[in-house]
Structure 1
Amino acid sequence: MRTLEHVGICAKNTVALKDWYMKLFNLKVVYDNKKENPTFFLLMEDESMIEIYHAEEDGMVATNKHQGVRHLAFGTDQIEEEYKNLQQHNVEIIEDLKVNPNGVKTVFFRDIEGNILHFIQRPERLY
């Protein structure tokens, strides 16, 4: 059996980005290497993790249509509350909450380092 154990986010400021994810998503730090530019693993409710590690070079901020991995999607069954939480924390919204013809609800936004994220709520699972 294979699972997606973690997604790595290379950050200019690992502490600030860790704090942002913890505040917005209520994640738990399960690893901190305690170095000058620390690496963190943050645990999600489904036991997957986000790794935040130090960037050695600056990169350009890409749009959702540039080649490569462009966004992380977080499934939720309470997208309206998630959307309000983003607004209350002055998160940069890229695409407001919308519903497609199949009833799939999405909202796209950026974290404090410009990474593209989104919430998705599906009326039925894909599998």
Structure 2
Amino acid sequence: MLTLEHVGICAKDTVKLKDWYVKVFDFKIVYNNQKEMPTFFLLLEDQSMIEIYPAEHSTEQGTNKHQGVRHLAFGTNDIEKEYQNLQRHQVEIVEELKINPNGVGTVFFRDIEGNILHFIQRPEPLY
């Protein structure tokens, strides 16, 4: 069986980015290699993780329609609550909260380094 163990985010400032994810989403720090520019693993409630590690090169910020991995999607059963949390933390919203005709809710936003994230709430799972 394969599972998605973690997603890596290469960061300009690993400490600031880690602090943002912990503050906004209350993720738990489960690993810190204690280096000058540390690598962190943050644990989500479903036991998956986000790795935040130091960048060696900068790239231009893209949109959700550029080639490559473009966003991380977090599932939720209360998208309105999560949207209010984003607003409370003054998170940059890319696409406002929408509910489509099938009842699927989405909101797209950026972390402090410009990475695109989004929340999705599905009335029925895809599987």
The TM-score with structure 2 as length reference comes to 0.99
Aligned residues: percent identity?
Answer: 76
Return the alpha-carbon distance in structure 1 between the equivalents of residues 70 and 46 of structure 2. Answer: 22
Match of 1:40 in 2: 40
Following TM superposition, where does structure 1 have runs of at least 4 consecutive aligned residues deviating by more than 4 angstroms?
none
Match of 1:115 in 2: 115
Q: Counterpart amino acid of 1:28?
A: K
Match of 1:10 in 2: 10
The alignment of Structure 1 onto Structure 2 pairs a total of residues equal to 127
**Structure 2 counterpart SS, 1:3:** coil
Match of 1:102 in 2: 102
Return the alpha-carbon distance in structure 2 between the equivalents of residues 101 and 71 of structure 1. Answer: 23
Q: Does 1:79 align with 2:108?
A: no
**Structure 1 counterpart SS, 2:7:** strand
Q: Counterpart amino acid of 1:62?
A: G
Return the alpha-carbon distance in structure 1 between the equivalents of residues 37 and 50 of structure 2. Answer: 16
Return the alpha-carbon distance in structure 2 between the equivalents of residues 23 and 81 of structure 1. Answer: 16
Return the alpha-carbon distance in structure 2 between the equivalents of residues 79 and 23 of structure 1. Answer: 18
**Structure 2 counterpart SS, 1:108:** strand
| CA apart distance, 1:60 | 0.6
Deviations along 1:67-104, one digit per CA (max 9) or x if unpaired, are 00000000000110100000011100000000111110
**Structure 2 counterpart SS, 1:15:** helix
The TM-score with structure 1 as length reference comes to 0.99
**Structure 2 counterpart SS, 1:61:** coil
| CA apart distance, 1:120 | 0.2
5+ residue gaps, structure 2: none
**Structure 1 counterpart SS, 2:46:** coil
Deviations along 1:33-62, one digit per CA (max 9) or x if unpaired, are 000000000000000000000001111101
**Structure 1 counterpart SS, 2:29:** strand
5+ residue gaps, structure 1: none
Return the alpha-carbon distance in structure 2 between the equivalents of residues 41 and 111 of structure 1. Answer: 16
Alpha-carbon RMSD across the aligned residues, in angstroms, is 0.4
